[in-house]
């Protein structure tokens, strides 16, 4: 077997499909015979999870009335935001139209859900439409709580103020690049970090710090720049083996890291940031700061009764079974993607593994059988360490590394092939997933 054959044969991980080439991206699609039903299925959200589910279910179910609700007419390819914020892509790289990803035989309503009553199986939209459902798939993703950062608002992002907020939107990721470009040219203190809540793509704050350090080095300005990474916990990454590797790289590259430092507020006039720490507040001066705020379930979900009552109470993630992704108290409700209250899996790569599980349980139930598929916590994050180098870290609920290409791509090595996965292959795989083909 050649190296390429071996790569092609591996389908385990998120990127397996892309490495195999576009022609192979039809696994599962259209193979199983469609199940007849007139069930009303409502999908709240048409992002990574919602679009993928709409495509899969419209193929698997014949006659189902599938409605997709999403008030944002633009689809955002969020893994691309990191590349945009590092000046490697323009904002439009991460933007497409929501509608283009949805199948023809469903109803798309370009409104948000404003109220959800899971006892009555009913959702009311922002435009006042009432939609009743037999099955609900919650795919709303999460909201970024910018207001939780005292003294900050998104109008401050840009080179004039030295502020980056690359999670906010494709446009603000591009504006963030201009701030990073200025900092890595002129020098000064750069502050990076992550919030204390659960968050999507927990590797993204680290990636941005590594990219900035690399860009400063390439420009010949490294000596003028100081890099400080503020972790919210007693580690730099929640999976111990990845934490040790990230720490090693930060040590090698003279990036200062601090534990249990959570951004509380900024003072634009003084150009300072305040962090809460176990020893009390700490205030630092900055020339560049990347702000990533606390992340929570959208308000409509927090108020719906679907959230956990005794876990993540300030965040509102929904109470699904970690393996089946079915709601613990409302069995006709499933959660996909970032909204789920499970210990891992807030990545697009995880969504790919959520899709077949929900599909299996939902279609089985409609057909009068019991679903058997299980989600094991698969989470993946191509951890960029420099332009042209990344580590393809993949892991499960138990912090086991679950490499897609065992023996071929070492997960903790900084490799060009892993960089290509992020820079080139990830988008093709993501798009295939949206179409229900991965
Ligand atoms: C900077 C950054 C870098 C990332 N890098 C990676 C990476 O390298 N690899 C990776 O796998 N993942 C990465 N991710 C994470 C990934 O993008 C998300 O995990 C993924 O998009 C989650 O899919 P989702 O369907 O849950 O949510 P989303 O894709 O965010 O979609 C949610 C949708 O729900 C809609 N919605 C919200 N509220 C409502 C409502 N009330 N009613 C109806 N619709 C609603 C929204 O408009 C949106 O379209 C990154 C994310 C960011 C921000």
What's the gap in Å between 347 CA and the centre of ligand 1?
8
**What's the order of all strands across the beta sheet hosting 40-44?**
107-109, 65-69, 40-44, 135-138, 333-335
Which of 171, 152, 390, 418 lies closest to 267, judged by CA? Answer: 152
Phi/psi of residue 412, nearest 5 degrees: -105, 15
Is the distance from the beta carbon of residue 337 to the nearest atom of ligand 1 less than 6 Å? yes
**Axis crossing angle, helix 426-434 with helix 48-60, rounded to the nearest 10:** 50
Looking at residue 17, its pLDDT comes to 45
Is the distance from the beta carbon of residue 58 to the nearest atom of ligand 1 less than 6 Å? no
The alpha carbon torsion through 335, 341, 345, 349 (nearest 10 deg) reads 20
* Mean per-residue pLDDT of the chain: 93
Specify the 3-state DSSP secondary structure of 229. Answer: strand
Phi/psi of residue 162, nearest 5 degrees: 70, 30
Q: Which helix (H) or strand (E) holds 206?
A: helix 204-218
pTM score of the predicted model: 0.94
Per DSSP, the residues of 44-92 read: E--SHHHHHHHHHHHHHEES-EEEEE-S-SEEE-GGGHHHHHTTSS-GG
Which of 382, 402, 399 lies closest to 241, judged by CA? Answer: 399
Beta strands 163-164 and 288-290, pairing class: parallel
In this prediction, the residues of the chain whose per-residue pLDDT falls under 50 are: 1-11, 17-30
Is the distance from the beta carbon of residue 205 to the nearest atom of ligand 1 less than 6 Å? no
Is the distance from the beta carbon of residue 200 to the nearest atom of ligand 1 less than 6 Å? yes
Looking at residue 409, its pLDDT comes to 87
Residue ranges of the domains in the chain? 1-22+379-438, 32-142+299-377, 146-295
Looking at residue 284, its pLDDT comes to 98
Looking at residue 239, its pLDDT comes to 96
Q: Domain 32-142+299-377: what homologous superfamily?
A: FAD/NAD(P)-binding domain (3.50.50.60)
pLDDT above 70 as % of the chain = 93
Would the CATH topology of 32-142+299-377 be identical to that of 146-295?
Answer: yes
For the domain spanning 146-295, the CATH number is 3.50.50.60
Q: Which helix (H) or strand (E) holds 18?
A: helix 16-19
């Amino acid at each position: 077997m050649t190296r390429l054959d071996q790569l092609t044969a591996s389908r385990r991980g998120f990127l397996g499909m892309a490495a195999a080439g576009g022609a192979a991206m039809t696994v599962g699609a259209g193979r199983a015979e469609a199940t007849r039903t007139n069930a009303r299925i409502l999908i709240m959200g048409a992002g990574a999870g919602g679009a993928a589910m709409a495509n899969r279910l419209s193929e698997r179910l014949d006659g189902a009335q599938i409605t997709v609700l999403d008030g944002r007419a633009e689809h955002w390819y969020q893994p691309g935001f990191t590349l945009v914020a590092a000046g490697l892509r323009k904002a439009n790289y991460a933007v497409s139209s929501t509608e283009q990803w949805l199948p023809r035989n469903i109803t798309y309503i370009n409104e948000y859900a404003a109220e959800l009553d899971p006892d009555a199986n009913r959702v009311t939209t922002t435009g006042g439409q009432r939609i009743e459902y037999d099955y609900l798939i919650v795919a709303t993703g999460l909201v970024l709580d910018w207001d939780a950062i005292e003294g900050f608002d998104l109008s401050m992002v840009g080179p004039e103020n030295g502020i980056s907020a690359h999670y906010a939107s494709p446009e603000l990721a591009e504006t963030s690049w201009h701030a990073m470009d200025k900092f890595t040219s002129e020098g000064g203190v750069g502050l990076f970090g992550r919030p204390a809540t659960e968050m999507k793509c927990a590797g993204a704050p680290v990636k941005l710090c590594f990219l900035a350090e690399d860009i400063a080095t390439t420009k010949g300005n490294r000596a003028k720049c100081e890099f400080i990474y503020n972790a919210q916990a007693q580690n730099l990454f929640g999976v111990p083996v990845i934490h040790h590797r990230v720490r090693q790289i930060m040590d090698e590259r003279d990036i200062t890291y601090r534990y249990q430092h959570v951004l509380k507020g900024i003072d634009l006039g003084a150009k300072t940031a305040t962090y809460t720490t176990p020893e009390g507040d700490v205030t630092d001066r900055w020339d560049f700061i990347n702000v990533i705020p606390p992340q929570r379930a959208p308000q409509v979900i927090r108020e719906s009764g679907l959230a956990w009552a005794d876990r993540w109470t300030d965040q509102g993630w929904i109470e699904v079974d970690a393996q089946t992704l079915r709601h613990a108290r409302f069995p006709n409700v499933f959660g996909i993607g970032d909204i789920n209250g499970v210990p891992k899996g807030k990545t697009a790569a995880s969504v790919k593994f959520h899709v077949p599980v929900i599909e299996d349980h939902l279609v089985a139930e409609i057909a009068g059988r019991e679903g058997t598929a299980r989600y094991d916590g698969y989470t993946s994050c191509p951890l960029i360490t420099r332009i042209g180098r990344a580590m393809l870290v993949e892991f499960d609920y138990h912090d086991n590394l679950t490499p897609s290409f065992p023996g071929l791509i070492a997960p903790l090595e900084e490799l060009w092939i892993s960089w290509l996965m992020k820079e080139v292959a990830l988008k093709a795989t993501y798009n295939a997933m949206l179409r229900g083909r991965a």
